Amino acid sequence: MSAAASALDALKRELGELKDFDRIAALLAWDQQVMMPPDGAAGRADQLSTLGRLIHERSTSPELGKLLDVAEPVAAKLDPDSDDARLVKVARREFEREVKVPQDLRAAITRTCSESYPVWVEARQKSDFAAFLPYLEKTLELKRRYIECMAPETEPYDALLDEFEQGMTTAEIRPIFARLKEVLIPLVRAVGSSDAVDDAPLRRQLPVAGLREIEQRALAAAGFDPDAFRLDTTVHPFETAIGISDIRLSTRYEVEGLESLFSSVHEFGHGLYEHQIAPELDSGLLARGASLGWHESQSLLWENLIGRSRPFWQRFAPDLSEIFPDQFGSLGSAEVYALVNKVRPDFIRVEADEATYSLHVIVRFELEQEMLSGELALSDLPSAWNQRMHDYLGVEVPEDRLGVLQDVHWSQGSLGYFPTYSLGHLRASQLWQRIASELPELPEEIARGEFEALREWLRENVHRHGMKFTPAELQERVLGGPIDPEPFISRLREKLAGIYGQALIP
């Protein structure tokens, strides 16, 4: 073997082992949430912390730095879009990011999160923001130190965004969110109180056996392959990949109406993304989605653009009537379609519909920046939250449990995460526009329950690349330009006009 090939090989071997350890950690976390008997918690915390230390040591080790130093000149001679050249580039970026943060700061963040989470759980239960406040203060303080290490020269919030959506800037998001507010606030006001759609059939718990049955039929058609996927039940739905051929989804059935179906289809979208990554990337660092915003584009595409589409319900409304004759026996596909797309301004982000969702995100995006800058005193956060919910969504938050305390993210140190949800919505609509033009038969196929052409399109254009490209590079390759809210806005307007009548749409 040449010296060049061997330099690359040594790096790839180390990155491959790191990938294995990451996946082992993912399995430990999955098992903890899905399978572990409750008394196993303390032991599992030890196992995760031992493994986490190992991963941190090896991903910041001087040896890895040297492997990179030797591999870089070799990679520089390769096609810059080749897997190996990209691997070295991404590995260098991640290495530099890891070593920038001093070990004591990392440890303080980890410790604060693990102290903070149980406090948040109890504070939410009791709707007691004051109990959570000191932990949020501490987290914010650590985040400021983190920003100082990462990118002291840019807008502070950029360093937080970069953790979840590499390269994304506050400056890029701000005008996009301004445009969404301009459109969505009046739109939600206009249709949110309409009684044109009576969604009473969706406002109750449906029998779990039936929910499993409709889900099973939908997922089987979508491409859920039991040789490579599992689906389990958990308190909070999620997806995790233990490898591109070992995809684990979870859902929950103790929810209103068809939420469990949409949730499973959503997680399937995440899972399909990782399942369709090119096999040659599987053993290394690149076998992940390009970013959270790209991941969310895939889950939301399946949940909203497919699962809440007319053709989907042309296919599955008869199944719904058959499975739930009492609840849906008399409803045709057009009626089910209207039901599952009803706009309902409410307090809780995770239950929000397509029209209100981004307004929930924008509330958080704005507050996070004001918290970070010190413009907003943390003790005033609940009232600022409630005021903004009133202004943007027209709802009056009755207690902090349903307001500022609803999300887990801040208790886990995840500031700058929320915008990726909206980026996912916008990208999904941009993708859909291109898909619609390239797969003109797709609506008919979906109405027949056929998803293969769609899966192949997603594989070819998005999934197979894993994280070879940065979020922005992938955006440019697949969508030919930056994130654009207009496809989402026009699709949403058109959809709601079809349901509520053109006259109601501002």
For strands 229-233 and 239-243, give the pairing: unpaired
If the CB atoms of residues 34 and 436 are measured against a second copy, the closer one turns out to be 34
CA angle (228 as vertex; 225, 233 as ends), nearest 5? 85
What is the closest distance, in whole angstroms, from the C-beta atom of residue 248 to a second copy in the complex? 8
What is the closest distance, in whole angstroms, from the C-beta atom of residue 249 to a second copy in the complex? 11
* Residues with Cβ within 8 Å of residue 273, at least 6 apart in sequence: 289, 294, 295, 298, 299, 458, 462, 463
If the CB atoms of residues 240 and 369 are measured against a second copy, the closer one turns out to be 240
- Measure the CA–CA gap between 106 and 49, rounded to whole angstroms: 13
What is the closest distance, in whole angstroms, from the C-beta atom of residue 43 to a second copy in the complex? 3
Matching residue, tokens 């898909």: 435
If the CB atoms of residues 229 and 357 are measured against a second copy, the closer one turns out to be 229
Please name the amino acid found at residue 503: A
Candidates 422, 420, 437; CA nearest to 479 is 437
What is the closest distance, in whole angstroms, from the C-beta atom of residue 222 to a second copy in the complex? 16
Secondary structure (DSSP) of 182-236 = HHHHHHHHHHHT--SS--GGGSSBPPHHHHHHHHHHHHHHHT--TTTEEEEE-SS
* Beta carbons of 395 and 338 less than 8 angstroms apart: no
- Measure the CA–CA gap between 364 and 368, rounded to whole angstroms: 6
Please name the amino acid found at residue 17: E
What is the closest distance, in whole angstroms, from the C-beta atom of residue 112 to a second copy in the complex? 23
If the CB atoms of residues 17 and 198 are measured against a second copy, the closer one turns out to be 17
If the CB atoms of residues 245 and 433 are measured against a second copy, the closer one turns out to be 245
The residues annotated as belonging to the active site are 267
For strands 229-233 and 246-251, give the pairing: parallel
- Residues at the site binding a second copy, with contacts judged by CB under 8 A: 16-17, 20-21, 23-24, 27-28, 31, 35-40, 42-44, 46-47, 50-51, 54, 225-230, 242-247, 282-283
